[in-house]
Structure 1
Amino acid sequence: MMWWYGPDMNGWGYALMTLSMLVFWGLVIFAVVVGWRRVGRDERSADRQPRPEEVLAHRFAGGEIDEQEYRQRLQTLREHGRHVPSP
């Protein structure tokens, strides 16, 4: 009585096998994509230093410096050979 419906797999067996294969490969692909994005994000964020112009603009936007000081410092950066786009 071990094989109730014969020695072959029935329709539910094939359906379960197909579903489990799709879930397995979906999880593998998901893990690879998440890992790839995490490694890429860590490398970009660790290597990139903010440019002096970005720091200056951030300080101006935050109210740490006024417009006159912002323009003076921006001019100083331009005079020392740093290419800064005009505001």
Structure 2
Amino acid sequence: MMYWDGGSGWAWMAFMPLLWIALIGLVVWAVARLAQHPTSRRDDTGRGPAPGETPEEVLDHRFASGEIDPETYAEMRKQLAAHRPRPR
């Protein structure tokens, strides 16, 4: 004798397309999120430059985080100042 579940199989048949649509939507959202331009925000490590951040600001952040020592910071500041265009 074959087991019959009382006719609730139609509910699963109606639910499965909705499940697939939701799954495909989630995949499309994830791909779109990952494909955003990388300079539109700082990277997850916090080391990428923010939009509009000047070289001096990047250098200041590196010095403040301890990534570079005071001598390197001073030398790089001098180099940046030497190559900065003069206002007219």
TM-score band, normalised by the shorter chain? Answer: 0.3 to 0.5
Which protein is bigger by CA-based radius of gyration?
1
More helix by share: 1
